[in-house]
Amino acid sequence: MGLQLKYSDKYRLWTELIQSGMDRVLIESPLTFRLGTEVPVELILPDLSSHIVLVGTVIGLRPPSERFGQGVYLRFTDAELDKCRSYLGLGPPAERPDYGGRRASRMDCALAFRFLVPPCSETFIVKNISERGLLAKCNLGLILGQRADLQVTLDNDEELCLKAEVTWARHELGLLGMKLVDLRPEVVASIGQCIERLTRVREMTEAGSHPILIAEDDVSVLGFLVKVLRRHGYHVQTATRGDDALALIRKNRPSLVLLDVLMPGLDGKEVCKKLRADADTAQIPVVLMSALDESSLHALATQSGASDYMSKPVTMAGLVAMVEKYAQPHSPSPPSRKAAPGESLDLWR
């Protein structure tokens, strides 16, 4: 059986597939695919008179786990989405900015910014940035085409005052896409240097064959996790930034990754998505850790391709039980006391 996307009506398809701005779509399937291959996907809608098939490119894999079934992440080109839009009679394609035949690459980040116009004292987060625009986490409800003056704080604490125009909005998600306008050469240079710094990954010296990697930016929490797992005979490596964690995973191929959702550099969701989009790391088990409620964490794990998840606060017994599902100790466990009932460390996020 081939791949299918099912929607209750064409308007939900329009909202979730065409207007969502999502860069990929998950389809659960027992079939095996290779990254980079193009596969046909049939759109299923009630009372659909025409047979619609879109061609998507495989950009990520989700291995099966106890909690999630096997799946594949696909990306559809603008041309395929325009074809779908035309078939459904849902109007003309959305206008896209002209970037001279190429799309500016974006750097994932977590830079602080605030609005000068319209004035707002609240600080928001830049999720990714390029020399031409940025994607922002914002709940101001700005409309398409609206101009704004921003103050963005770069990773070296340099503050840039920028002019931008809203080109894309998902108010239900609190997301805004903004094109930078009237850029001065020195501003372009500062943004470019910031991107270079964010792209640079520092050398990792910690050795070890197929360890468990723990990515957690809270030092006290990280110490607790490391102590518990080493006590139970596991070889452990650590990272406090998402980009550093990604570099270590690609270098050392750990047997398991414990990944905090909120981290500097790259958040846990983006790290997991990048792992699933790489043939060399797509099969590594990944467990997300977060203080989100279970339903939200389940949805986040589904979207990112994680194998499992743990809700914070994490108990010692729960941590060991989770790790035992996916990894084996590198040495016999030394004698240790058992965790008292309900023993835990509050992991606030």
Domain boundaries, the chain: 3-88, 107-199, 212-345
pLDDT given at position 47: 67
- For β-strands 212-215 and 236-239, DSSP reports them as parallel
Taking only the tens place, the pLDDT of each residue in 75-116 is: 888 888 877 777 666 555 444 434 343 344 567 677 889 999
% of the chain surpassing 90 pLDDT: 29
Which positions ≥6 away from 312 have C-beta within 8 Å? 289, 290, 291, 346, 347, 348, 349
- Mean predicted confidence (pLDDT) in 297-302: 93
Q: What is the CATH number of domain 3-88?
A: 2.40.10.220
Q: Taking 80 as the threshold, does the pLDDT of residue 208 lie above it?
A: no
- For β-strands 124-129 and 159-170, DSSP reports them as unpaired
pLDDT given at position 161: 94
Q: Tokens in use for 152?
A: 């963005």
CA angle, corner 251, sides to 127 and 22, nearest 5?
Answer: 30
pLDDT given at position 333: 38
Residues 127 and 134: their CA atoms lie apart, in Å, by 8
Confidence of residue 151 (pLDDT cuts 50, 70, 90): very high
- For β-strands 286-290 and 256-260, DSSP reports them as parallel
Residues 340 and 249: their CA atoms lie apart, in Å, by 33
* Residue with more model confidence, 245 or 338: 245
pLDDT given at position 98: 40
Q: Taking 80 as the threshold, does the pLDDT of residue 210 lie above it?
A: no
* Residue with more model confidence, 13 or 152: 152
Q: Taking 70 as the threshold, does the pLDDT of residue 18 lie above it?
A: no
Which CATH architecture fits 212-345?
Answer: 3-Layer(aba) Sandwich (3.40)
Q: Taking 50 as the threshold, does the pLDDT of residue 336 lie above it?
A: no
Q: Taking 60 as the threshold, does the pLDDT of residue 124 lie above it?
A: yes
What is the residue-averaged pLDDT of the chain?
80
Q: Taking 50 as the threshold, does the pLDDT of residue 123 lie above it?
A: yes
Confidence of residue 331 (pLDDT cuts 50, 70, 90): very low
pLDDT given at position 105: 53
Q: 220: helix, coil or strand? A: helix
* Residue with more model confidence, 326 or 145: 326
Q: Taking 60 as the threshold, does the pLDDT of residue 229 lie above it?
A: yes
Assess contact for 137 and 143: CB atoms under 8 A: no
Which residues make beta-bridge pairs with 180? Answer: 164
Q: Taking 70 as the threshold, does the pLDDT of residue 315 lie above it?
A: yes
Residues 188 and 74: their CA atoms lie apart, in Å, by 33
Q: Tokens in use for 275?
A: 């792992």
Which residues make beta-bridge pairs with 256? Answer: 212
pLDDT given at position 50: 60
107-199 against 212-345: fold identical: no
Assess contact for 63 and 26: CB atoms under 8 A: no
- Mean predicted confidence (pLDDT) in 142-170: 88
Distance of CA 64 to the CA centre of its chain: 19
* Residue with more model confidence, 211 or 331: 211
Q: What is the CATH number of domain 107-199?
A: 2.40.10.220
Confidence of residue 335 (pLDDT cuts 50, 70, 90): very low
pLDDT given at position 85: 73
- Mean predicted confidence (pLDDT) in 113-134: 89
pLDDT given at position 207: 37
Q: Taking 70 as the threshold, does the pLDDT of residue 132 lie above it?
A: yes
% of the chain surpassing 70 pLDDT: 79
Q: What is the pTM of this model?
A: 0.52
Residues 26 and 11: their CA atoms lie apart, in Å, by 19
- Mean predicted confidence (pLDDT) in 112-131: 89
- Establish how many alpha carbons lie within 13 A of residue 327's alpha carbon, considering only the half-sphere containing its beta carbon: 31
Assess contact for 72 and 33: CB atoms under 8 A: yes
